[in-house]
Structure 1
Amino acid sequence: MSIFVLRNANLLDLEEGALIDGMDVVVVDDRIADIGRGLVDPVGTDAVYDLRGLTLMPGLIDCHVHVTASHVNLGLAAKLPNALGVIRSLPILRGMLFRGFTSVRDAGGGDWALAQAAQDGLIEAPRLFPSGKALSQTGGHGDFRARSDQLEPCACSFRIGNIARVVDGVDDVRRAARDELTKGATQIKVMASGGVTSPNDPIGNTGYSMDELRAIVDEAAAWQTYVMAHAYTPRAIKRAVEAGVRTIEHGNLVDEATAQLVKQAGVFVVPTLITFDMLSSEGAALGLPPESIAKVDDVRLVGREAIAMLHRLGVKMGFGSDLLGESHKHQSEELRIRCEIVGNLETLRSATTVAADILQRAGTLGVVRPGAVADLLVVKGNPLEDIGVLTGQGEGLSAIMKDGRFVKNELKARTSVARVA
């Protein structure tokens, strides 16, 4: 058993939207055991830390990452041998953790094995909610084959660097969804529209028939989970919502009527603005193909307007970054972009309480309360006033705790004089 006491913290309560000073937090094993003022050290306390002047908040959650996307050209990443694909994912995962993201939802590529390695402490990584391979129709956003290829059955489901698998037809998408769920996917990702980084599909394309989309949703529901859908346009978003998906990824081209439909259905949206900024500024130099570069501004220039409208209408939005290759280092800059549009508090909620709700972990992740998982950040400053303390590569974090264990700790401890609580 491990016991840590964190004293005199400025506790950031994101449910209330308030900073509460002078709070003590007791962590026992992987859970928060108690919160209050003047708490007595439990018998067996390992260490006590004085957080006076520092902010204590829940670990951040990124709801849209691709941890195996080690190259901005996804077609090249898809061809990597599995061993190399895994090895190249390790610094990506470590970087996320040390930026304060203690949980991430992988939107295609990351699998059960990586999630288990993170859980077992074999690698430095956030808690991973993997989708396995996203499902894409032939010629859809997950099909990285060139037009010149002979389109034989795709072997894309066998390589970890490939974020998707190509599958068509109601029976086959059912089988593919069951396969990914059996392999450990915690939710299913479906490509419901065209995309930027795939070679052949214009942004305005839709992905899958309604029968195929509904079959995928049915299979996820049978496993007591849900579907997340890549979708940009009003038509693609509307079809996905009507099919029963739970989260819309990106949504840059959404219009007000469709946004109202999203809200009425209780569907979440996970915008991902930073990736389009980076693809625009860095993509060509990092190897993004010309056919993809030509599509970036189709979604980038309207993304901020979409977030402003969704916020105004009260649509629930989670935090997502969706970065690729060397651009992963810009992950926390999504926080700054969001703050400029919706303010600090709603931005922080998108990466904590709302994100936990998306992951179906409300009350156990994204909060600091008794019984919650002890994913905690000790921050040099107040994120409600300056989001910059959470950007960069974690320089503003004095400590990062995941599952009750410090993965970064610059704090000075004193040994507890144990007293009976």
Structure 2
Amino acid sequence: MHSLLFKNARIFDGTSADCAEGQWLRVADGRIQEISAQPLQAPEGTRVIDVAGRTLMPGLIDAHVHAFASDVAVARIEAVGEAYRTAHAVRMLGHALDCGFTTVRDIGGGNYSLYKAAADGLFRAPHFHYAGKILSMTGGHGDMRQIEQTPRYAPACACVEANMFSVMADGVDECLKQAREQLRQGAHCIKLMGSGGVASPTDPIWMNQYREDEIRAIVGECEARRSYAAAHCHPASAVRRCVEYGVRAIEHGTLIDAETAAFVAARGAYIVPTMVIIHALVEMGRELGFPAQSQEKVELVAQQAISGLDLMRSAGVKVVFGTDLLGSTYTQQCREFTLRGQVFTPLELLRQATSTAAEMMLMQGQIGCVQVGAQADLIVVDGDPLRDIGLLAADGRKLGCVVRGGEVIRSDR
């Protein structure tokens, strides 16, 4: 394994606003071994990187990606085939790594094959966590069939209705089976569709989805595996009921209200808003061929997106960084910092993309932090991101070094 020694570093640890100056940090076997204000010794052959007073901080975490989402239109993603989708994933994940994201959470569509390819170094990528296929009720947000498509009944076809991103599961027994199936295939968490969504053709945004017994069954399976459940939710009603029934992480939460934000905060649940995909689709959706019915829905959601962030902040909700980018919009990943910067301070944003994300993923002390024993996922920022979050919104141009699992991905020293 790689042995590294950083010297003269200003360290942001992922949590504290107080950054220690003149620090030394030693990496071996992919983990942080020592941090000291005094010079450290390292074995012969250790690579020494002079940080020169710049900020050394945890690698970033994007907790809402879809690596195989090669287009803004789901029908076209399905049609292009596995090879094309994989090529897009390689390109997208490589870009994320260059931007300083050393961990991503694929929250719908990602699988063990892509995870293993990334882990084995077959292509350049962050650490890849995945939820497998999303659980959706028939006619829910994960059901991408057009209204005119007829169902395939069991007597004629015994297969499960599924697509690239979702599998249909109705009733407690099917929810249990499909949650267990995704966990069997290595899913790090399970995502369910708790409300209507933008990309699906037949369900309104305001629609609450899944019954209480179905949601609780999915949550119970996750807890039995020492994992957790996440839920796609836009309206406040869906957010509240999913959190009440035990869901740990809410994806989007765009149409939240003050009362629900306070409820989420009191329960200690997390919300992963995704501002950049909303703005990208409002600006470019028509040009990129986003379906007309979906374009109408995203423009509705956009009206409350930023104000929803303000409600979350005021209530003290634990907010996590996520982007949800589709197709060619993947290049806007770092723009999420700029959009959230209208509401949150740089320190709040840094925590969202490091320590709070790690906590939500049940990986506190492992990623999203600079402390002894943690994975050596580190970036060097050319300046002070606690004062200027724009340094992280520059698509990696303001990063002097990116380290993932103790391996130097790139460095200017």
When normalised by structure 2's length, the TM-score is 0.96
2:335 matched residue in structure 1: 333
Q: Distance in 1 between matches of 2:285 and 2:53?
A: 41
Counterpart contact for 1:10–1:56, Cα < 8 Å: yes
Q: Distance in 1 between matches of 2:304 and 2:270?
A: 19
Q: Distance in 2 between matches of 1:28 and 1:338?
A: 35
Q: Distance in 1 between matches of 2:408 and 2:139?
A: 45
Q: Which amino acid aligns with 1:70?
A: S
2:123 matched residue in structure 1: 123
1:139-218 matches, within 5 Å, as: 139-152=139-152, 157=162, 162-218=164-220
Q: Distance in 2 between matches of 1:27 and 1:84?
A: 37
SS in 2 for 1:292: helix
SS in 2 for 1:121: coil
Counterpart contact for 2:13–2:371, Cα < 8 Å: no
> Cα deviation per residue 1:46-71 (whole Å; 9 max; x = unaligned)?
21111113211100001111111110
> Cα deviation per residue 1:25-53 (whole Å; 9 max; x = unaligned)?
11112001111123232223421111113
Counterpart contact for 1:61–1:319, Cα < 8 Å: yes
Q: Distance in 2 between matches of 1:224 and 1:53?
A: 40
Shift of 1:9: 1.0
Shift of 1:401: 0.3
Correspondence for 2:261 among 259, 262, 267: 259
Q: Distance in 2 between matches of 1:2 and 1:397?
A: 20
Matched, 1:389 2:391: yes
Q: Distance in 2 between matches of 1:331 and 1:301?
A: 21
Shift of 1:155: 5.8
Q: Which runs of 5+ in 2 are unaligned?
A: 154-158
Q: Distance in 2 between matches of 1:40 and 1:291?
A: 60
1:241 matched residue in structure 2: 243
Name whichever of 63-72 and 79-88 sits farther off: 79-88
Q: Distance in 1 between matches of 2:371 and 2:31?
A: 9
Counterpart contact for 1:253–1:303, Cα < 8 Å: yes
> Cα deviation per residue 1:302-324 (whole Å; 9 max; x = unaligned)?
11111111111111111110111
2:55 matched residue in structure 1: 55
Q: Distance in 2 between matches of 1:45 and 1:246?
A: 44
SS in 2 for 1:33: strand
1:134 matched residue in structure 2: 134
Q: Distance in 2 between matches of 1:18 and 1:338?
A: 22
Counterpart contact for 1:193–1:203, Cα < 8 Å: yes
Shift of 1:22: 0.8
Counterpart contact for 2:101–2:126, Cα < 8 Å: yes
Q: Distance in 2 between matches of 1:362 and 1:293?
A: 38
Matched, 1:96 2:96: yes
Q: Distance in 1 between matches of 2:34 and 2:142?
A: 46
Shift of 1:79: 3.2
1:270-281 matches, within 5 Å, as: 270-281=272-283
1:377 matched residue in structure 2: 379
Q: Distance in 2 between matches of 1:52 and 1:89?
A: 35
> Cα deviation per residue 1:247-299 (whole Å; 9 max; x = unaligned)?
11111111111112111211111111111000100111111000000001221
Q: Distance in 2 between matches of 1:296 and 1:83?
A: 29
Counterpart contact for 2:67–2:109, Cα < 8 Å: yes
Matched, 1:2 2:2: yes
1:39 matched residue in structure 2: 39
Q: Distance in 2 between matches of 1:241 and 1:359?
A: 16
Counterpart contact for 2:26–2:40, Cα < 8 Å: no
Q: Distance in 2 between matches of 1:260 and 1:385?
A: 29
Shift of 1:407: 1.1
> Cα deviation per residue 1:170-198 (whole Å; 9 max; x = unaligned)?
11111011000001111000010000111
Counterpart contact for 2:141–2:195, Cα < 8 Å: yes
Q: Which amino acid aligns with 2:197?
A: G
1:359 matched residue in structure 2: 361
Q: Which runs of 5+ in 1 are unaligned?
A: 412-421
Matched, 1:348 2:350: yes
Counterpart contact for 1:308–1:341, Cα < 8 Å: yes
Q: Distance in 1 between matches of 2:84 and 2:171?
A: 32
SS in 1 for 2:12: strand
> Cα deviation per residue 1:318-374 (whole Å; 9 max; x = unaligned)?
111011110011111111111220110001100001000011111111111111100
Counterpart contact for 2:22–2:53, Cα < 8 Å: no
Q: Distance in 2 between matches of 1:156 and 1:403?
A: 38
> Cα deviation per residue 1:102-147 (whole Å; 9 max; x = unaligned)?
0011110111121122112112111111000001111111111111
Counterpart contact for 1:3–1:44, Cα < 8 Å: no
Name whichever of 5-14 and 351-360 sits farther off: 5-14
SS in 2 for 1:274: helix
Counterpart contact for 1:187–1:227, Cα < 8 Å: yes
When normalised by structure 1's length, the TM-score is 0.94
Shift of 1:156: 5.6
Matched, 1:297 2:320: no
Counterpart contact for 2:32–2:376, Cα < 8 Å: yes
Q: Distance in 2 between matches of 1:120 and 1:44?
A: 27
Q: Distance in 1 between matches of 2:24 and 2:77?
A: 46
Shift of 1:87: 2.2
2:15 matched residue in structure 1: 15
Shift of 1:23: 0.8
Q: Distance in 2 between matches of 1:192 and 1:215?
A: 14
2:310 matched residue in structure 1: 308
Cα 1:129–1:94 shift into 2, 3 Å? same
Q: Which amino acid aligns with 1:315?
A: V
